[in-house]
Amino acid sequence: MSWTGFEIFFKGAARDSLLQAIDLALDEDGPDLTSLAVFSPDDVMRARIVAKEDTLVAGLPIVSLVLDALGAREACETDFAVEEGSRVARGTAVCRLKGPAVALLRAERVILNFICHLSGVANLTARYVAALSGTTTRLLDTRKTLPGLRYPEKYAVLVGGGCNHRKNLAEMLMLKDNHIDRAGGIPQAMAALRGAYRDGLKSMPPVEIECRTLEEVALAVAEKPARIMFDNMDPDTMRRARTLVPPGIETEASGGVSLDTIISVAAAGPDYVSVGRITHSAPAADFSMQLTSVRPS
């Protein structure tokens, strides 16, 4: 993932969401009354963002967006020392800044919160992707994301080598157990979807059907959805389910997948395996911002 990849991902709704998250983070902190009291508007500082562990780097372009939100970008010199998405060693300075002290001090924690969290998501994703090496199964994220951070977290999954599942409920329709049980079965639930989108004014998004049993898989295949999910199936049942699905219909394994179990899941042959913990439980990467005052000449 490069700067170009960041710009491609963060367009439209994704960019709006990221900018709103940055504004909210700054609003949460409020004015930095301590720095405003101690530093004058003319005081200048240098800053280094340093990796304190070996890590992937995700979210560096957010540095400039935070400075933009503070109205301080033009007043700051910014030097990015590594590419977005690169893996760096402990002690690497990934970015250097010089600018107004009050702006850098206010931006410090917001910048670090984003980079630490997103790099952590990328790191954990990369571990799962590495575990799938040698298989044809690809890693998917889920909607189990922190409120307000779905787009940044899904971007970080891409940095780590994973793939994105649907970003919202409208991007792909998913028939889950509640829908199927309420409709009276998979055929009835699919009929309800087709009925809701049959007027030609609305095109039906791709459909995924969640299946709990081999019987449900057979019923789902007859409906020709885009994807069939094997929900909480053991590897042997999943292997049998996979043989029921013809080419042209994707398959996804889901439910409690961990680094310890992902190999046995992939051995059953699904096209994808979705893992919620790569976003909702990723430990933060360790970065710090080292600031020093610049003495007047």
Please give the positions annotated as active site. Answer: 109, 144, 176, 210, 231
The 3-state secondary structure of the chain reads CCHHHHHHHCCHHHHHHHHHHHHHHHHHHCCCHHHHHHCCCCCEEEEEEEECCCEECCCCCHHHHHHHHCCCCCCCEEEECCCCCCEECCCCEEEEEEEEHHHHHHHHHHHHHHHHHHHHHHHHHHHHHHHCCCCCCEEECCCCCCCCCHHHHHHHHHHCCCECCCCCCCCCEEECHHHHHHHCCHHHHHHHHHHHCCCCCCCCCCEEEEECCHHHHHHHHHHCCCEEEEECCCHHHHHHHHHHCCCCCEEEEECCCCCCCHHHHHHCCCCEEECCHHHHCCCCCCEEEEEEEECCC
Pick from 209, 256, 208, 264: nearest CA to 236: 264
Q: Report the distance separating Cα 252 and Cα 256, nearest Å.
A: 13
Length in residues, the chain: 297
**Which is nearest to 215 in space by CA: 235, 240, 191?**
240
